Amino acid sequence: MNRRERKVAAHVMRRATLFSALFSGLIFFGLSAPLEADAEPFTISGVTEPYQDVSLGISIPGRVAKIHVAEGARVAKGEVILELDQQLEKLEVERRKLIWQSKVEVESAALQVKTLEEHLASTRDLYKTTGSVNREELENQELEVALAKAELARLENAEKREEVEYNIAREQLDKRTLRAPFTGAVAELLAGVGENCDLDKPLAQLVETRRGYFVANVELGTIENLKLGQTVELQLQAGADPVRLDGKIVFISPVVDPASGLRKVKALFANKDGQIVPGVTGLMFLGN
């Protein structure tokens, strides 16, 4: 083999080695792909929150006169939690009610109108048939009827105004009662009997725990795998052992937190038996 033939043979060997390496790499990556598909689901850590958590107050100052429920008690929507002193307001309601329901003046005015109208009808009849009544007397009676009707209308309007004032008094009385705006549990009572309350001071903490939120802050790359309404699997702490349950994505923050670069996500889950206590940590599982 001469020198030129040896160079050609060496070049062919180098190309064969290169193709062999490339082929081996393709086989390696081809075999590795299925292993990635079998990897564990991606997890996101977060914390649970109650479905509703509200501090309740009253829009007028006063002194707490009675507390109807204990801390931790479950209350229905509209149920009374506590009352401020309301003796003066009750008396004002009764006074307004008596004024409104008093029909003496209206009934008297209506009777007067009826009597004057009957008298006027007789006078008109005499004026037309016998002429025993002059025109001036007829006009005076017509004026009396008109004035009596105006007085009746004034009294009827006054009665409507008295009804409005009675309803206002009832509203003022009702404002001194703290009622549950939704069905939930009284997490904390923030005032005791005899304590003076300032305007809009929180008096009770009401939470709804029959449903809850799993809240997590998620990286931008991961958020692409989440959509509103999507069902996800959650693992939440319940006593000594964690439980797994389904949740539904109901909120994806439209903004990114500038400090962390994360977006907030909320998944709603059912908690009818109350086994998940708000505030515990948990995990949300996402497939590949």
CATH of the domain at 254: 2.40.30.170
- Nearest of 242, 251, 247, 223 to residue 281 by alpha carbon: 242
Q: Does 72 reside within a domain?
A: no
Please name the residues in contact with 193: beta carbons below 8 A apart, sequence gap of 6 or more.
Answer: 64, 65, 66, 67
3-state secondary structure of 262: coil
Calculate what percentage of the chain has a pLDDT beyond 90: 72
Residues 104, 169 share a domain = yes
Whether residue 74 is predicted with pLDDT greater than 90 in this model: the reply is yes
pLDDT of residue 131: 83
Q: Does 181 reside within a domain?
A: no
Whether residue 163 is predicted with pLDDT greater than 90 in this model: the reply is yes
pLDDT of residue 30: 41
3-state secondary structure of 211: strand
Whether residue 9 is predicted with pLDDT greater than 80 in this model: the reply is no
pTM of the model: 0.69
Please name the residues in contact with 52: beta carbons below 8 A apart, sequence gap of 6 or more.
Answer: 182, 184, 206, 207, 208
What pLDDT digit, counting tens, does each position of 14-71 carry?
A: 544 434 443 444 333 343 444 444 545 689 999 999 999 999 999 899 999 999 999 9
What pLDDT digit, counting tens, does each position of 167-226 carry?
A: 999 999 999 999 999 999 999 999 999 999 888 789 999 999 999 999 999 988 888 888
CB 227 within 8 A of CB 245: no
Residues 10, 46 share a domain = no
Domain-terminating residue out of 122, 156, 175: 175
Q: Write down the residue that tokens 């006054």 correspond to.
A: 158
- Nearest of 183, 187, 182 to residue 279 by alpha carbon: 187
Residues 110, 49 share a domain = no
What pLDDT digit, counting tens, does each position of 273-288 carry?
A: 889 999 999 999 986 5
At 9, which amino acid appears?
A: A
CA-to-CA distance for 26 and 174, rounded, in angstroms? 79
Residue span of the structural domain in which 221 resides: 42-53+208-286
Residues 164, 142 share a domain = yes
3-state secondary structure of 227: coil
Query: Which residue did the predictor score with more confidence, 226 or 240?
Result: 226
pLDDT of residue 67: 97
pLDDT of residue 35: 40
pLDDT of residue 130: 87
Q: Does 235 reside within a domain?
A: yes
Q: With bands split at pLDDT 50, 70 and 90, how would you rate the model's confidence at 6?
A: low
Calculate what percentage of the chain has a pLDDT beyond 70: 85
Residues 103, 46 share a domain = no
Q: Does 247 reside within a domain?
A: yes
3-state secondary structure of 76: coil
Whether residue 154 is predicted with pLDDT greater than 50 in this model: the reply is yes
What pLDDT digit, counting tens, does each position of 88-134 carry?
A: 999 999 999 999 999 899 999 999 999 999 999 999 999 888 888 89
Measured CA to CA in angstroms, residue 118 lies from 133, 158, 165, 207 at distances of 15, 26, 36, 68
Residues 171, 92 share a domain = yes
pLDDT of residue 41: 67
Whether residue 258 is predicted with pLDDT greater than 80 in this model: the reply is yes
CA-to-CA distance for 172 and 108, rounded, in angstroms? 32
Residues 169, 92 share a domain = yes
User: Which two structure tokens, joined as six digits, stand for 174?
Assistant: 């009702």
Spell 69-81 as b/e; 16+ CB within 10 A means b.
beeeeebeeeeeb
- Nearest of 209, 249, 240, 212 to residue 44 by alpha carbon: 249
CB 195 within 8 A of CB 204: no
Residues 212, 149 share a domain = no
Q: Does 185 reside within a domain?
A: no
Residues 48, 15 share a domain = no
Total domain count, the chain: 3
Q: Write down the residue that tokens 């109208």 correspond to.
A: 117
Q: Does 78 reside within a domain?
A: no
CA-to-CA distance for 50 and 56, rounded, in angstroms? 16
Residues 220, 165 share a domain = no
pLDDT of residue 180: 97
Q: Does 75 reside within a domain?
A: no
pLDDT of residue 42: 81
Q: Does 81 reside within a domain?
A: no
- Nearest of 101, 113, 100 to residue 152 by alpha carbon: 113
What pLDDT digit, counting tens, does each position of 121-136 carry?
A: 999 999 888 888 899 9
Residues 170, 91 share a domain = yes
Residues 49, 110 share a domain = no
Q: Write down the residue that tokens 């040896």 correspond to.
A: 6
